[in-house]
Amino acid sequence: MKKKFLSTILCAAMAVSLLVGCGGTDTPQNANTETPQTTENKTEEDTADTTASDAEETLTVWCWDPNFNIYAMQEAEKIYQKDHPNFKLDIQENVYGDIEQKLITAAEANDYSTLPDIFLMQDYSYSKMVTNYPDIYTDLTDSGIDFSKFTAGKVASSTVDGKNYGVPFDNGAVIFAIRTDIVEQAGLKAEDFKDITWTKFMELGQKVLDATGCPMITTCGGSELVIMMMESAGASPMVNGEVKIADNAALKEAIGVYQKLIESGIMVDYTDWDQYIASMNDGTAAGVIQGCWIMASIQAAEDQSGKWAIVNMPRLEVAGATNYSNCGGASWAVSSNCKNVDLAVDFLHTTFGGSVELYDVLLPNAGAIASYLPAGESSVYQEGSEFYGGQAVYADIVEFAGKVPACSYGAYYSDIRSALTDTINNVVQNGADIDDEMKNAQDTVEFNIQ
């Protein structure tokens, strides 16, 4: 907006300058005065045309976090301006809760005029919001954006009924970050934890616990880890709109593994997020399994540089099991209020959906790891990280992301996660039967979504 305002002031100044110049001439009273009048009209028209042109190439954006999402948009703007010098973004900072509430308010009032051209949405909200308020969104399925160049698990999050409503941004691929100096005390290396089952993980984790007194991993909020396990097997608690919790083999296996991890002491589950982060930074845990965004918290302990390594997560022993999952992330949506959909789509296609250069800038400066697969092949992603002992961790993470099975919760992520949290707590803390608790969770979710 500031640039647009300055442009308007300059145009006005030019018009005044021209008028002053014409008025100061020694033109005789009977001379033809059409030329100055024409010049004045032309200047006004040019100013109007310039203002209109600026408006046509300006897109409004809603997102949050100045150091991450907003910074990413600013860098995307710079790249797009190389071939579109008149292009501008009006980036408006909103916390995510406010964005979602504004979207709902607009939809329920059936007045979409308040919406921006582009907005950022948490991946877990897409199905719920698109299902309940479809008129908010522009369908991007046939927009020309090549969604096959993004990780399948990420694309699935913003896909509803086979249609694409979001352009993937950050990467939520799950990593297993390991303190190499701690596991070495048990005669192990980080590589020993790569491509293994949860059964093998518990065997190795017990060795670390016995040798060091440190739990192998730490977590916060049990349902999140159980969901990661389930999704790694390509299993979903929703299938074709029906709740599939009670008879979900991967979910049952995941809850059983979680229970064993807690009972053995191989894993500690914190209820406080700050304590969870502290356990990684103060050496009271030998590792963590989480979305790759956790790396920013791990790296806050600068004195541990060179003492960490990253591998993929363990896999369940059920059909479809893999060592890959996803946790968290967001994608860009184009609103139904967008007056220039072609411009918005081309901008997103050219930048977040087509520019390795953009992701090369975002990685070192914002810690944003791409879900755009070609970015993983760049020289920036191939560089070794001193903090992780020279490992090319970013290239590895993009590779992990490319192997994540697609999984969708429909519009009921929050309901399912809440029910599973109760299930896990009852099993772990009260010794409840897993099958009974899964049936209770099924009934609860079915009741809530009626």
Residue 414: its pLDDT value, please? Answer: 79
- The CATH number for 321's domain is 3.40.190.10
**Helix or strand or coil: residue 312?**
coil
Residues 296 and 191 grouped into a single domain: yes
For 277, how many CA atoms within 13 A lie in the half-sphere containing its CB? Answer: 11
Chain centroid, CA 442 distance in Å: 28
In angstroms, the Cα distances linking 413 to 126, 127, 137, 407 are: 10, 8, 20, 11
Residues 6+ apart with CB under 8 A from 124: 157, 409, 413, 414
316 and 444 co-located in one domain: yes
Q: Is 257 within a domain?
A: yes
HEC letters along 204-262: HHHHHHHHHCCCCEEEECHHHHHHHHHHHCCCCCEECCEECCCCCHHHHHHHHHHHHHH
Distance CA 102, CA 106 (A): 6
pLDDT at 37: 36
In a domain, 347, yes or no: yes
Per-residue pLDDT at 363 exceeds 60: yes
Task: Name residue 226's amino acid.
Answer: V
Query: Which residues, in sequence order, are CB contacts of 375 under 8 Å at separation 6+?
Result: 356, 359, 360, 381, 398
Chain position carrying tokens 């009209």: 41
pLDDT at position 407, please? 79
DSSP, residue by residue, 80-91: HHTT-TT-EEEE
Band of residue 250 on the pLDDT scale cut at 50, 70, 90:
very high
Q: Does residue 65 come out as left (phi exceeding 0), alpha (psi in the -120 to 50 range) or beta?
A: left
Mean pLDDT over each residue of the chain, to the nearest integer: 87
232 and 367 together in one domain: no
- Do 146 and 266 have their domain in common? no
Which tokens go with 199? 């059964």
Distance, C-alpha 432 to centroid of its chain: 35
Whether 7 is covered by a domain: the verdict is no
CB 320 within 8 A of CB 233: yes
Q: Are the beta carbons of 73 and 362 closer than 8 angstroms? A: no
Residues 231 and 88 reside in one and the same domain = no
| Shared domain check, 224 and 130 | no
On whether residue 13 sits in a domain, the answer given is no
Q: Do 368 and 425 sit in the same domain of this protein?
A: no
Residue 138: helix, strand or coil by DSSP? coil
Q: What is the pLDDT of residues 71-123, one digit of tens each?
A: 999 999 999 999 999 999 999 999 999 999 999 999 999 999 999 999 999 99
Helix axes 249-264, 413-430, angle to 10 degrees: 40
- 11-15, 55-59, 409-413 — most confident range: 55-59
Alpha carbon distance 407, 403 (integer Å)? 12
Most confident of 179-183, 241-245, 444-448: 179-183
Helical H segments across 57-179, by residue range: 71-81, 96-109, 126-132, 152-157
- Do 387 and 425 reside in the same domain of the chain? no
**127 and 197 both lie in a single domain:** no
**Based on the structure, what is the number of domains in the chain?**
2
Domain that holds residue 74: 56-171+329-395
315 assigned to some structural domain:
yes
The pLDDT score that the predictor gives to residue 311 is 98
The token pair at 361 is 């800038």
Closest CA to 121 of 330, 348, 297, 307: 330
309 plus 434 within the same structural domain? yes
pTM, full prediction: 0.75
Looking at the chain, the number of H-run helices and the number of E-run strands are 18, 14
Residues 79 and 129 in one domain: yes
Q: Are residues 152 and 261 in the same domain?
A: no
